[in-house]
Structure 1
Amino acid sequence: IFRGRRGDQIKVLWADSDGLCLFTKRLERGRFVWPVTRDGKVHLTPAQLSMLLEGIDWKHPKRTERAGIRI
């Protein structure tokens, strides 16, 4: 996982059976929450990675109301 200098863009590089894949995402507003690095490495749980890719602050998640139909 690579983060841009401004913190609003990330790139994820992974290997599959056919070769390398690159995923890039840029936030329109805000910055990606970046974990503390140890020895130049970032350690994330699957849940933290999912929230990182969604642009959610996994350190301080907030519950949002979902729009729904009320009867």
Structure 2
Amino acid sequence: MVYLATGHHDMRKSINGLALVVAETLGLDPVSPHWFVFCNRARDRIKILHWDTNGFWLHFRRLEEGRFHWPEHADDAQALAVTARQLRWLIDGLKWQNAVAHQAMTPRAMC
């Protein structure tokens, strides 16, 4: 599962600071198998935090042009659950909230 931390966040925070946001603000476990995605106020940078076996990964993406279509939240940050596919759409610059994709199908034997 992928969680978007709605609103904006301080991109100066590193692993420990973001893990603290996940635990205290979002109320989730930072060492769970989920991905946690944060965006800055200008919506041109994102960080992805996730735990892998015995340590954290921290991925960073900066756009040279354009902005991410990032969800806002009127109050404090909230965790918005999205699919990995929707995260890919967001990173690719698509309006992922309204995107409609083909449904996944399981293969069946041809007779």
* Aligned partner (choices 35, 38, 47) of residue 2 of structure 1: 38
For structure 2, the 5+ residue unaligned runs are: 1-36, 100-111
| Offset of residue 59 of structure 1 | 3.9
- Aligned Cα RMSD in Å? 2.2
Identity of aligned residues (%): 38
Aligned length: 61
Moved over 3 A (4+): none
Instruction: Provide TM-score, normalisation by structure 1.
Output: 0.68
Cα 1:55/1:31, change in 2 over 3 Å: same
Instruction: Provide TM-score, normalisation by structure 2.
Output: 0.46
The 3-state SS of whatever aligns with 1:43 is strand
Determine which structure has the larger helix proportion and give its number. Answer: 2
**Higher RCO (C-alpha 8 Å, min separation 6):** 2
**What is the alpha-carbon distance in structure 1 between the residues aligned to residue 78 and residue 96 of structure 2?**
20
For structure 1, the 5+ residue unaligned runs are: 62-71
